[in-house]
């Protein structure tokens, strides 16, 4: 079977994949759900968190693997896995974007968010005084991220969300056709997404074609609302 490395999005930790991991493990796959710097059990100060630190941590996980992996990125982690593919294309079987920012060279997650008329994530943020970090408001958590998840799931997430450095959002992608461009890509789109709207997801797919698109009728957190379906889609990608 295959190995999956799962990379969480902004404000979350490796725990975001807790209900997806059993589906993949039940299918016989090896699964590593990372805690990026400043998230989950990692104690890196938020002030030191950058896109490069996210990429470095993910590269370490790939270097520790004896085989190429299916590298899965959710949301902001799309920016991470693209940079990882640029540095370690030979260590990746496929890149899998889960309603994620699939960036071309010079693009940023923030740039896409600012032009996304179907997203309410930016107005859902509570900024720090120096504008370097942000948290998600209570209303934003429900309306922008978890709009189709059960109340108990939303409340559990609320207690675990981390403060988020904004540097990774604004960092520009540095990728090439020679490295990033030669790694196969798959996209899992979410039709009810209010953080990275489906129209923006499809525009990114149009700009950077992928091998296959899987469609899920969920919000921005399909791992929270339909984890079994997401797990089945990931298993199918590795089949």
3-state SS of 102-122? CCCCCCCHHHHHHCCCCCCCH
Q: What is the pLDDT of residue 164?
A: 97
In this structure, the chain runs to a length of 239
Identify the active-site residue in 8, 29, 74, 75: 75
Q: 35: which DSSP letter?
A: -
32 among known catalytic residues: no
Q: Active-site residue 18, yes or no?
A: no
- pLDDT given at position 1: 87
Element spanning 21, H or E: helix 21-26
pLDDT tens for each residue of the chain, 239 residues long: 899 999 999 999 999 999 999 999 999 999 999 999 999 999 999 999 999 999 999 999 999 999 999 999 999 999 999 999 999 999 999 999 999 999 999 999 999 999 999 999 999 999 999 999 999 999 999 999 999 999 999 999 999 999 999 999 999 999 999 999 999 999 999 999 999 999 999 999 999 999 999 999 999 999 999 999 999 999 999 99
- Spatial separation of the C-alpha atoms in residues 122 and 13, rounded to whole Å: 20
The alpha carbon torsion through 237, 157, 18, 82 (nearest 10 deg) reads 40
Is the CB of residue 155 less than 8 Å from the CB of residue 141? Answer: no
Of 8, 11, 7, 9, the residue nearest 159 (C-alpha)? 11
What ranges do the domains of the chain cover?
3-237
pLDDT at 39: 98
What is the fold, at CATH topology level, of the domain defined by 3-237?
Rossmann fold (3.40.50)
Active site residue 220: yes
User: What are the φ and ψ backbone dihedral angles of 198, each rounded to 5 degrees?
Assistant: -60, -35
> What pLDDT is attached to residue 15?
98
- Point out the catalytic residue in the list 193, 197, 219, 225: 193
Question: Model-level pTM?
Answer: 0.97
Q: Which of 35, 74, 220, 225 is catalytic?
A: 220
């Amino acid at each position: 079977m295959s190995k999956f490395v799962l990379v969480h999005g902004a404000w979350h930790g490796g725990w975001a994949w807790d209900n997806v991991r059993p589906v993949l493990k039940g299918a016989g796959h090896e699964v590593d759900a990372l805690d990026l710097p400043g998230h989950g059990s990692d104690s890196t100060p938020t002030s030191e968190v950058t896109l490069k630190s996210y990429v470095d941590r993910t590269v370490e996980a790939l270097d520790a693997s004896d085989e190429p992996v299916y590298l899965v990125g959710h949301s902001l982690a799309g920016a991470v896995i693209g940079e990882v593919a640029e540095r370690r294309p030979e260590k990746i079987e496929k890149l899998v974007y889960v309603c994620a920012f699939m960036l071309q060279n010079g693009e940023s997650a923030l740039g896409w968010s600012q032009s996304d008329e179907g997203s309410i994530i930016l107005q859902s943020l509570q900024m720090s005084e120096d504008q370097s970090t942000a948290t998600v408001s209570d209303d934003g958590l429900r309306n922008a991220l978890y709009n189709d998840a059960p109340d108990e799931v939303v409340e559990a997430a609320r207690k675990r969300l981390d403060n988020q450095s904004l540097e990774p959002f604004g960092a520009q992608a540095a990728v090439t056709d020679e490295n990033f461009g030669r790694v196969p890509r798959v996209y899992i789109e979410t039709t009810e997404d209010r953080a990275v709207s489906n129209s923006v997801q499809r525009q990114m797919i149009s700009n950077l074609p992928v091998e296959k698109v899987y469609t899920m009728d969920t919000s921005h957190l399909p791992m929270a609302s339909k984890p079994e379906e997401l797990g089945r889609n990931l298993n199918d990608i590795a089949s």
